[in-house]
Amino acid sequence: MTSAALRRDEDGAPVVATARAALYLRVSTGRQADSDLSIPDQRRQIEGYCLSRGWEVTAEFVEPGNTATDDRRPAFQAMIDAAMQKPSPFNIILVHSFSRFFRDQFQFEFYVRKLAKNGVKLISITQDLGDDPMSVMMRQIMTLFDEYQSKENGKHTLRAMKENARQGFWNGARAPIGYRVVAAGERGAKIKKKLEIDPIQAETVRRIYRMALNGVDNKGPMGLKSIATWLNENNIRTRDGGRWGLGAVHQVLTRTTYIGQHRFNTRDHKTKTPKPESEHAVMEVPAIVSEAEFEAVQRSLKARSPKMMPPMAVGGPTLLTGICFCACCGGAMTLRTGTSSVGREYRYYTCSTKARQGATGCPGITVPMDRLNEAVVDHLEARLLDPARLEALMDQILERRDEWVNQRREHVADLERRATEAEAKLKRLYDAIENGVIDVNDPSLKDRITELTATRDQAKGDSERALAHIVKIGPAITPETLRAFAAALRKKLRNGDGTFARDQIRAVAQRVEVVSRKEVRIRGLRSELLRTLTAASGVEAAVLGVRAFEPKWRTRHDSNV
């Protein structure tokens, strides 16, 4: 490369034009940028290269902490935009090595050719090549090797980060709501970090789970939109002070981090597509909710999902639509209507397979809707609401009551300690202002006072709510209270107009299988049955944390109690 380029003026006479160069300086990570070594060294060497050739440096583009595997780099795009101007403010782009420009061979060649069309050339000061075919081939080999080396480095880095997560250490990024990052020790020059529960935000997470399972004041489970609306209306904000949306609530309710299993490497960082579970690294963290709560929420979300159950089955008028199935073929029992000779309308549950394909598809039966509805509700009343059976079911809950109360009292103590610490810091801050140690005009003073005041007030409020939640457990459950509860729930199962309480039925019976005109199997998740009973009786808190040892219950089997 020469220090000047020939061009011709309007009369055709040759004119010498000095080369104009733009410097592109890049490091891959923020840590390298903070060290302030690599970029100054690149600048020094490139400027010396220009000085030795008499080139004019007209622009400089610095990329601190961005990878060269893609073109999503602000300084890079600004440089390309400037280079594509007509005329371009520079005709040479100088880099320390080709890997500073790109570590993707295809993209590298794309941008080199794009620049060349506008008369801009890319030059590496440590890999100076010509324009002949042999030099072009060597450049392509170098960039291909850079791409391979980048992928190998990424593979080894990811392997190390996965192992770091398995050992219980945090790899960076922002902690999920309900947690905060704390130092856990040093290993060489690196400070290892872990997640610990943030007492203030953790109570918000627990509240979201309680609303998903039992609603506000035990008025019934709430969906994502209802939860987000309630949080926003009650001025309970996200960690950043923003408003809750469906996505944020859904993430809280589906993240296994809250049961002590934070998953790392779940998505591809480029395409955002989910990775197979075999590639996940599970990091153990302190749990905020119990596994029983988490699993119950997952079942609730699954049951509400339009992919699992059509909206008509959730909001339609028919009692058993969506949960009634033919025991012969497994197909859904759907509603059919007919009219007698005198004009009376009849309604039936019919096997959908038989209705579509006839008896050759399924020999299923047709059952009058009123008879099946009455039979299901009568059986649930007689079987599930027997006080002796309820007492056996509640024994396991009462055994865990004291353990739950102790855990919540420890949580209240953490919140009170957090409020006390914030109050003490505020007092010391005010004392320092009075003594003239701190300038009242300091712009950061107001923000600090606001932050400490918000921390104190929220900790106090959450402490009071958590304490009130413990008090709501109420007195010990006795056989008398169980009998009263059974009588009250019997009334709830039937509405005043003679219809049935649809939500109550679906809460305790998730599947009704019609075997014959005289036999029906009612299936349901035992944990959902327990939670429904306790929520309706006003002892919702006592069930929290209780595992369901039987995956399903069947009304005809005494062993389920």
Show which of 307, 341, 362 is a domain's final residue.
307
Residue 369 lies in a domain: yes
* Calpha distance 497→80 (Å, rounded): 73
* Whether residues 332 and 225 fall in one domain: no
Residue 257 lies in a domain: yes
Q: 345 - beta bridge partners?
A: 339
* Whether residues 493 and 385 fall in one domain: yes
**pLDDT score of 281:** 85
3-state SS, residue 328: coil
**pLDDT score of 544:** 33
* Whether residues 210 and 121 fall in one domain: no
Residue ranges for the chain with pLDDT beneath 70: 1-17, 29-37, 189, 303-318, 390, 393-402, 404, 469-479, 481, 492, 494-504, 506-508, 525-561
* Calpha distance 439→243 (Å, rounded): 34
3-state SS, residue 99: helix
Show which of 127, 142, 163 is a domain's final residue.
127
* Whether residues 334 and 481 fall in one domain: yes
What domain range is 39 assigned to? Answer: 18-127
Got the DSSP string for 38-81? HHHHHHHHHHHHHHHHT-EEEEEEEEET--SSSS--HHHHHHHH
**pLDDT score of 525:** 65
Residue 424 lies in a domain: no
Judge whether 527 counts as a catalytic residue. Answer: no
Matching residue, tokens 């490091």: 27
Residue type, 312: M
**CATH number for the domain harbouring residue 23:** 3.40.50.1390
* Whether residues 376 and 518 fall in one domain: yes
**pLDDT score of 470:** 67
- The four Cα atoms 185, 187, 190, 194 give a dihedral, to 10 degrees, of -40
* Whether residues 81 and 118 fall in one domain: yes
Domain count, the chain: 3
Matching residue, tokens 């649809």: 502
Show which of 307, 327, 354 is a domain's final residue.
307
Give the pairing of strands 324-326 and 511-514.
parallel
Characterise 125 by phi-psi region: left (phi > 0), alpha (psi -120 to 50), beta (else): alpha
* Calpha distance 130→48 (Å, rounded): 20
* Whether residues 282 and 200 fall in one domain: yes
- Measured at the CA of 530, the angle between CA 374 and CA 527, to 5 degrees, comes to 105
* Whether residues 119 and 22 fall in one domain: yes
Residue 182 C-beta-side C-alpha neighbours within 13 Å: 9
Task: List, in sequence order, the alpha helices (H) in 358-514.
Answer: 369-384, 387-434, 443-471, 479-493, 502-508
**pLDDT score of 22:** 93
Got the DSSP string for 107-166? HHHHHHHHHHHTT-EEEESSS---SSHHHHHHHHHHHHHHHHHHHHHHHHHHHHHHHHHH
Of 28, 290, 463, 537, the active-site residue reads 28
* Whether residues 326 and 195 fall in one domain: no
User: Which of 57, 158, 49, 157 shows the shortest CA–CA distance to 96?
Assistant: 49
Indicate the helix (H) or strand (E) that contains 188. none
* Whether residues 92 and 123 fall in one domain: yes
* Whether residues 392 and 472 fall in one domain: yes
* Calpha distance 388→393 (Å, rounded): 9
- In sequence order, what E strands does 240-393 have? 261-264, 281-284, 324-326, 333-339, 345-351, 366-368
Residue 184 lies in a domain: yes
Residue 4 lies in a domain: no
* Whether residues 112 and 33 fall in one domain: yes
